[in-house]
Amino acid sequence: DIQMTQSPSTLSASVGDRVTITCRASQSISSWLAWYQQKPGKAPKLLIYKASSLESGVPSRFSGSGSGTEFTLTISSLQPDDFATYYCQQYNSYFVTFGPGTKVDIK
Amino acid sequence: QVQLVQSGAEVKKPGASVKVSCKASGYTFTSYGISWVRQAPGQGLEWMGWISAYNGNTNYAQKLQGRVTMTTDTSTSTAYMELRSLRSDDTAVYYCARGRDYPDYWGQGTLVTVSS
């Protein structure tokens, strides 16, 4: 299976901050990467697919970039609703895998 | 609007089986597959597998091969996930979601607790 790692595991930030989360794959996955946001007790929400395509209805402050083995999710100006855990997920291989998650909390 | 509504919480003993349902509405059921993802308490997301609602083809995570079966009933637009030989580390919230590559709509989750 393709292994996914994320850094940092926890990120403390303030409203208005620019936030960047990194996701790395154990082998090249081209651009077959998605990002999800999850809040406690809720199902994950799709934010980004194909590394940089914004899902319909997702605010434009979210953006994704990267290809191959290294990817980033950027929140340009953190809003109160953005405090959550973020997961990357690869779908390049027959077996889909998720990263371990990055929790964004209030500084 | 697209909705996936899952069955209610379950409590099972070790060694038992559980079958979770996921009823879809608001779209053509056979146009998308259904993925199943689980999340143990306080842990991350774990992909369990996927089933094509068009032809029933499946693709299961290697660690669950032999214990999991995913099926669909196109007459009721419902997907099912059965997990057998339950262990305590199968305790988790189980989610169904529309699509395989990047699921876009998710069910509300079903808590399955395995305890003696």
A52 to chain B, minimum CA–CA distance in Å? 13
Mean pLDDT for each consecutive 10-residue tract of chain A (107 residues)?
96 96 97 98 98 98 98 97 97 94 94
State the Cα angle at B53 between B47 and B56, rounded to 5°. 85
CA terminus-to-terminus distance, chain B = 40
Q: Are strands A102-106 and A10-13 parallel, antiparallel or unpaired?
A: parallel
Which of A43, A45, A50 comes nearest B107 by C-beta? A43
Give the model's pLDDT for residue B41.
97
Digit-by-digit pLDDT tens for chain B (116 residues) are 999 999 999 999 999 999 999 999 999 999 999 999 999 999 999 999 999 999 999 999 999 999 999 999 999 999 999 999 999 999 999 999 999 999 999 999 999 999 99
Give the model's pLDDT for residue A107.
86
Task: Identify the closest residue of chain A to B60 by CA–CA distance.
Answer: A95
Give the model's pLDDT for residue A93.
87
Give the model's pLDDT for residue A106.
87
Residues of A in contact with B104 (CB under 8 A): 46, 55
Q: Is A97 helix (H, G, I), strand (E, B) or coil?
A: strand
Task: Give CB contacts under 8 A, 24+ apart, made by B16-21.
Answer: B16/B86, B16/B114, B17/B82, B17/B83, B17/B84, B17/B85, B17/B86, B18/B82, B18/B83, B18/B86, B18/B112, B19/B80, B19/B81, B19/B82, B20/B80, B20/B81, B20/B82, B20/B94, B20/B96, B20/B110, B20/B112, B21/B78, B21/B79, B21/B80
Distance CA A73, CA A85 (A): 12
Give the model's pLDDT for residue A13.
96
Task: Identify the closest residue of chain A to B106 by CA–CA distance.
Answer: A43
Give the model's pLDDT for residue A9.
98
B106 touching A, CB under 8 A? yes
Give the model's pLDDT for residue B102.
96
State whether the Cα torsion B42-B47-B53-B56 is positive or negative: negative
Distance CA B50, CA B64 (A): 12
Segment B38-51, tens digit of pLDDT: 999 999 999 999 99
CB spacing of B61 vs A95 below 8 angstroms: yes
Segment A1-15, tens digit of pLDDT: 899 999 999 999 999
Distance CA A64, CA A69 (A): 14
